Amino acid sequence: MSIWEKLTAIPREIVIGLVIISMIIPTLNPLGLPIMTGQMAKDWYNYVEDVPEGSVVLFDIGYGSGGYPSLGPATIAVFHQFFDNNLKVIIMATAIEGSMMYPLIMDVVQPETKYGAVYGEDYVFLGYIAGVQTAMAGVLGDLPAIVTADYLGTPIGQIDILEGISGAEDMDLVAYMTTAGGTSEGWVYQAYSAYGKELLGGFLSMMTTSMKPYYDTGQLLGIIDGIKGAADMEYLTGNPGDAIQSSDVLSFSQTLVLIFIIIGNISYWGSRASRKEEI
C-alpha cells in the first residue's frame, strides 16, 4: 500500500476521535477571537435599533431541542435588544417543542430583573399553536378570534399587552427563528406577502442559501445565519454568550475538517498520479 493509498483511507474512528478532541480543547481553553459581523445580522440589528419605543413585535419560537444550540443563543441576544429598546413582545411558538424552549431562553434573558419588564404588560407568551402556516395566518388575521389564553391559561382579556391587538395591523414587526423550511417560508408568505409586514428571519446556516432570495428582494429585512449570526448578534448587542464561545470551537473543528479535505484531495491526486506511473 502506497503512502497515498494510506492517506486516502484514514479509518473513520480516527477522524471522528480527532474531531471530538478538536471540540473539547477550545471549550476548555477559549481563545476569544475577534468577531467579524456579517451584513445580514447587521441589517437585523440596525432595523430593530430604529424601531420606535413601545412598538409591538410578534416573535415566533420555531425550533426545539435540535435547534437550540444555534438558535437559542440567537434568540437570547435578540430578546436582550428587544427589551433594551422597550419594545412590546408577543411571543408564540409554531414548533411543538417551542413552549419548552421559552423557559430556557427566559432563564438567561431575565427581562424582569435586567430590564424591569413585566410579564403581561411588556411581553407575553401565547404558547404552542398547532398548524404552522394556519397558526401564523390565524394570529396575524384575527388574534382574539383564535387565541383565548396565554400559555399559563390566563384569558387574554386580562393581559394588558394584548389589549387593542386585533391582528397584523396592530403589529409593527414580525420576527422568527426556526429550523423548519416550511416555517421559514411560511412567515414570508403569511407576514410579508399577505400583510406586508416588516419581517426578520433567523434559521440554521444550512437554510440561509435557499432563504437568501427573500432577503435580496426585500421580503426579509435581516437574517440571522445560524450559529454565526447568533455570535454576530451577541457581539452587536454586547451580550456575549454561548454563540461566541462556539466560535472558538468552530475555529478548531472546521480547521481540522479543512485539513482532512486537503489530505483527501492531495492523496486522491497523488494516488491517481502514481497509478499512471505504474502503467
Of 172-201, which residues contact other proteins (CB under 8 A)? 181-182, 185-186, 188-190, 192-194, 196
Shortest gap between Cβ of 35 and other proteins (angstroms)?
7
3 binds other proteins (CB under 8 A): no
Q: How many residues does the chain have?
A: 279
Q: Can you tell me the distance from the alpha carbon of 241 to that of 76, in angstroms, rounded to the nearest whole number?
A: 9
53 binds other proteins (CB under 8 A): no
Interacting positions 207-226 with other proteins (CB under 8 A): 207-210, 212-214, 216-219, 225-226
The beta strand positions in the chain, using DSSP E, are 56-62, 88-93, 123-128, 173-178, 199-203, 222-225
Among 39, 110, 154, 166, binds other proteins (CB under 8 A): 39
158 binds other proteins (CB under 8 A): no
The answer to whether the CB of 23 falls within 8 A of the CB of 248 is: no
Cβ nearer to other proteins, comparing 46 with 116: 46
Cβ nearer to other proteins, comparing 84 with 256: 256
Shortest gap between Cβ of 109 and other proteins (angstroms)?
17
Among 62, 64, 201, 222, binds other proteins (CB under 8 A): 64
Cβ nearer to other proteins, comparing 76 with 87: 76
Distances 279 to 197, 266, 272, 275 between C-alpha atoms, Å: 67, 20, 11, 7
156 binds other proteins (CB under 8 A): no
Q: Can you tell me the distance from the alpha carbon of 47 to that of 223, in angstroms, rounded to the nearest whole number?
A: 11
| Residue matched to cell numbers 434573558 | 109
For 195, phi and psi rounded to 5 degrees? -125, 0
For 70, phi and psi rounded to 5 degrees? -90, -50
131 binds other proteins (CB under 8 A): yes
The answer to whether the CB of 138 falls within 8 A of the CB of 146 is: yes
If binding means CB under 8 A, how many residues of this protein chain bind other proteins? 101
42 binds other proteins (CB under 8 A): no
Among 82, 115, 128, 176, binds other proteins (CB under 8 A): 128
Distances 124 to 37, 65, 277 between C-alpha atoms, Å: 30, 22, 71
Cβ nearer to other proteins, comparing 122 with 248: 248
Single out the segment in contact with other proteins by CB under 8 A; choices: 79-87, 99-107, 109-117, 169-177: 99-107
The DSSP 8-state label assigned to residue 162 in this structure reads: G
Cβ nearer to other proteins, comparing 15 with 118: 15
